[in-house]
């Protein structure tokens, strides 16, 4: 993308059957705000989506965003009348609004509640400013690949009151203080490998949540199975945890079995992080009873 990005909105509107769009950034001075004409000439927010109404998947690779233009983009995608995925791959997010040239007139309007139940956001390559952009948003599904700023993520989670599904994908275990403010959520953790000690630590993190949540942990393993099976027995003995599954399996069989479920494709395309020999753990935490010490899987 270069100085001709202002032509993009007119081009997109002509593509009546477009379902997938990938945009590569080539210049830090190119703001996504100008790509989609989010505002009218009087700087007011447009009432229609500048995206083709058929779009279901939009990917940005190495693109510069300001925090406000990212918020406006997500609100724009939410205006579509079907499910859509936004994928940010190694994008630069900054709080600076210098290159917006005054296009953003009322940042407060972006904090007005907005139905984003049709938007799934996948992030690969995050930074603290990205989490600033997500604070207070109405997103219901977020997938993050390789977390580098766990404390910033933790702070943002406290403000996501409508979040229903959070998937965290990493090559190795990263300690994240999971703090949620709503129940009936689904937490999914995917690791290339996970040790027995790391699994215990993760279970301690999730078992102290004050809400009823579902948790899935999918990981490859290199240690002997005895340690993992000991954890399984401890979980089965904990009344406050419903162990739906704790089993070893191959990646191919998992994909085959899961295709019968309603799961976003961005979940499957990240299974390459996991080895062919893996363990699938599915739990339900019941907060209706006071957790006993054994629940923390010491």
pLDDT in tens, 164-198: 999 998 888 988 888 776 667 889 998 888 999 99
Question: Is 251 or 24 the better-scoring residue by pLDDT?
Answer: 24
Question: CA dist 109 to 39, 49, 71, 88, 102, Å?
Answer: 12, 17, 10, 23, 15
CA atoms within 13 A on the CB side of 128: 3
Average pLDDT for the chain: 76
Q: How many CB atoms lie within 10 A of CB 170?
A: 20
In this structure, is residue 203 part of a structural domain?
Answer: yes
The pLDDT of residue 34 is 57
In this structure, is residue 174 part of a structural domain?
Answer: no
Residue 137 contacts residue 160 (beta carbons within 8 Å): yes
Alpha-carbon span 107 to 127, nearest angstrom? 21
Whether the predicted pLDDT of 274 surpasses 80: no
- Domain shared by 2 and 147, yes or no: yes
Tokens of 231: 């954890």
Whether the predicted pLDDT of 80 surpasses 90: no
In this structure, is residue 170 part of a structural domain?
Answer: no
Rounded to an integer, the average pLDDT of 240-268 is 63
- Domain shared by 158 and 203, yes or no: no
In this structure, is residue 7 part of a structural domain?
Answer: yes
Q: How many CB atoms lie within 10 A of CB 281?
A: 23
- Domain shared by 134 and 225, yes or no: no
Q: What is the domain extent for residue 151?
A: 1-163
Cα angle for residues 264, 265, 269 (degrees, 5° grid): 135
Whether the predicted pLDDT of 293 surpasses 90: no
User: How sure is the predictor about 275, in pLDDT bands with cuts at 50, 70 and 90?
Assistant: low
- pTM for the predicted model, two decimal places: 0.81
- Domain shared by 229 and 149, yes or no: no
- 229-238 confidence digits (pLDDT tens): 999 999 999 8
- Domain shared by 201 and 77, yes or no: no
The least confident of 15-19, 161-165, 294-298 is 294-298
- Indicate the number of domains in the chain: 2
In this structure, is residue 209 part of a structural domain?
Answer: yes
């Amino acid at each position: 993308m270069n100085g001709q990005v202002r032509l993009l909105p007119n081009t997109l509107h002509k593509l009546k059957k477009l379902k997938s769009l990938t945009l590569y950034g080539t210049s830090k001075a190119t703001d996504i705000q100008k790509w989609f004409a989010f505002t009218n000439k009087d700087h007011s927010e447009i009432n229609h989506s500048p995206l083709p109404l058929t779009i279901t998947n939009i990917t940005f690779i190495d693109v510069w965003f300001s925090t406000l233009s990212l918020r406006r983009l997500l609100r724009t995608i939410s205006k579509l009348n079907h499910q859509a995925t936004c994928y940010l791959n190694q994008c630069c997010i900054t709080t600076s609004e210098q290159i917006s040239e005054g296009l953003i007139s009322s940042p407060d309007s972006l904090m007005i509640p907005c139905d984003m139940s049709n938007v799934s956001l996948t992030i690969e390559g995050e930074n603290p400013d990205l989490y600033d952009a997500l604070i207070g948003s109405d997103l219901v599904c977020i997938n993050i690949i390789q977390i580098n700023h766990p404390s910033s993520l933790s702070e943002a989670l406290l403000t996501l009151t409508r979040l229903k599904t959070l998937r965290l994908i990493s090559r190795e275990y990263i300690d994240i203080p999971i703090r949620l403010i709503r129940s009936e959520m689904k937490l999914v953790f995917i690791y290339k490998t996970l040790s027995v000690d790391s699994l215990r630590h993760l279970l301690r993190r999730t078992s102290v949540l004050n809400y009823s949540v579902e948790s899935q942990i999918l990981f490859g393993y290199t240690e002997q199975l005895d340690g993992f099976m000991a954890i399984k027995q401890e979980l089965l003995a904990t009344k406050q945890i419903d162990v739906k599954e704790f089993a070893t399996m191959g990646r191919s069989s998992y994909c085959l079995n899961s295709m019968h479920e309603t799961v976003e494709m961005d979940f499957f395309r990240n299974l390459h992080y996991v080895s062919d020999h893996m363990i699938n753990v599915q739990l339900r935490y019941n907060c209706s009873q006071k957790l006993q010490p054994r629940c923390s899987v010491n």
